[in-house]
Amino acid sequence: MAEAERQQEKIQRQDELAALDRQMAYARLKAFQAHHHHKGRWSIFVMIAMAWMILFQSGLLALVGTGIWDFKPYQWLLPSLLIQNLAQIITLAAIIVKALFDKHKE
């Protein structure tokens, strides 16, 4: 009788461990799916932000190039704005590439 009880307890522990493994696998799957769902939403935001920065820089160049805006008294301002905006685009692109294309970690 004692042997049958030990065998029953062993089988019960194995069943509990198997159930726990299935629950952990399901939790990892849900986390993976959520991670990629948020990645998709984040990438749309980043595309809009980068497009806005590029449009701003293009508009600034167009306004200065056509003579509508004149920065001659402030010769340092236009190059500073352009360099700053370009640096923002490059930095944002580097951060995003690392964040979006980094392997999903468990």
Contact 92, 50 (CB under 8 A): yes
Residues in the chain: 106
DSSP 73: G
Q: What does the alpha-carbon distance between residue 56 and residue 82 come to, in Å, rounded to a whole number? A: 10
The pTM is what?
0.52
Q: What does the alpha-carbon distance between residue 16 and residue 33 come to, in Å, rounded to a whole number? A: 26
Q: What is the pLDDT of residues 23-62, one digit of tens each?
A: 999 999 998 888 778 777 877 887 888 788 888 888 888 8
Number of domains into which the chain is organized: 1
Q: What is the pLDDT of residues 9-22, one digit of tens each?
A: 888 999 899 899 99
User: Structural domain of residue 43, as residue ranges?
Assistant: 2-101
As given in the structure block, the two tokens for residue 25 are 């696998």
Q: What does the alpha-carbon distance between residue 68 and residue 60 come to, in Å, rounded to a whole number? A: 10
Does any domain span residue 58?
yes
pLDDT at 26: 92
Average pLDDT of the segment spanning 68-75: 82
